[in-house]
Homo-oligomer: A and B are copies of this chain.
C-alpha cells in the first residue's frame, strides 16, 4: 500500500503555510498538467505558471505570490522546488539493502567491513579496503586496495573503485562509474610512448554524487580531489589531479583535463570542456558545450561556440569564418581610407 499524507501533516512537518482546505491527503506527486486529486504538484518556474489555473492536483506547492491564483489547496514555500524535493522523498522507496555480506561476494580476509555495511552479490573487496557503517555496496562492485567507503555512502551497482580511492560520508555513486583508474600519463621516448606510473589516489568529500558511467582518474603523484557536495552527472570525465571545489555541479558529458582547478559553487554545463593546468574561480558558470581554454579569474557566465542554423546558411557563414581575419583587415583598411587624412 502506498503511504498517504494529509496536507495538514505535510504543512506542519515541512514548516509550510497552508492555504485552503488541509483535510485532503496525497499519495504521490505529479506535474501541474498531469497530477490528479491524489497527487501533490509544485510551481517553481514561471514557464509553467499558465498551467496553474487548470491543474487537477490535490494540492500545489507555490510561492506566496502564486497562492491566490491556485485553484486547489496550496502549500506556501519560499523555494517551492526545495520544498517539493523534501516532500517527494516521502514517496521514494529505495529498496532496503540488508546489512551483511552476500554469500556470493568475494571479500579478502584483510578487508575491513563494518557490521552495519551491506555488500551485494558478486562484489569483490580486496585486501586493504574498508567499508564503514551503513554503507551500501550494490551488486557487481569492485573495491580495490586502499579504498575506503564512508558511512552511509551507496554504490548503486557495478561501480569500480580501482586503487587508493577514499569516499566520504553519504556519497552516492551510480552504476558504471570508474573511480581511481590510471590517469593518462605518458612520456614520449624517441619513437614510442612509455607509461608514467600513477601513484596518487582520489579523495571524494561528503555528500558528493557521481553519475552513471562517469570516470575519475587517480592522481599522478598527489590526489585527484572533489570537495564536499560536488555533483557530477553521467558520463563525465575527470582527469588526474583535478581539484573541484565544494558545491560545484557538472552536467552530463562535461570533461575536465589534468590538473585543472575548479572553484566552489561553479556550474559547468553539459558537455563543457575544461583544459588542463588552469584555474576557474568560485561561482563561475560555463554554458553547455563551451570549451574553457584559459583560466577564469572572475565569477560570471562564460560561453563559446556558434549558434545552430539551417545547414544551408551555416555552411556559408562557416566558410567565411575561415577568412575572418582577412575580413577584419579589409574593414580596417576601409575605415582607414574613410577617415579624414
Contact = CB atoms under 8 A, between A and B. Distances in A.
B306 A304 contact: yes
A234 B255 CA distance: 10
A104 interface: yes
Interface stretch (A7-15, A18-26, A63-71, A120-128): A120-128
Contacts of A31: 221-222
Contacts of A318: 303, 305-307
A60 interface: no
A175 B159 CA distance: 10
Given A222-B31, A325-B316, A139 B139 contact: no
A196 interface: yes
A55 interface: no
**Which of A172, A187, A304: most chain B CB closer than 10 A?**
A304
B307 A247 contact: no
Contacts of A157: 124, 142, 144, 160, 162
A306 B47 CA distance: 31
A1 interface: no
A341 interface: no
Contacts of A36: none
A307 B308 contact: no
Interface string A293-316: 110100011111111111111111
A208 B212 CA distance: 21
A271 interface: yes
A46 interface: no
Contacts of A234: 178, 181, 184, 215, 217, 237, 239
A316 B156 CA distance: 44
Contacts of A29: 199, 221
A186 B85 CA distance: 8
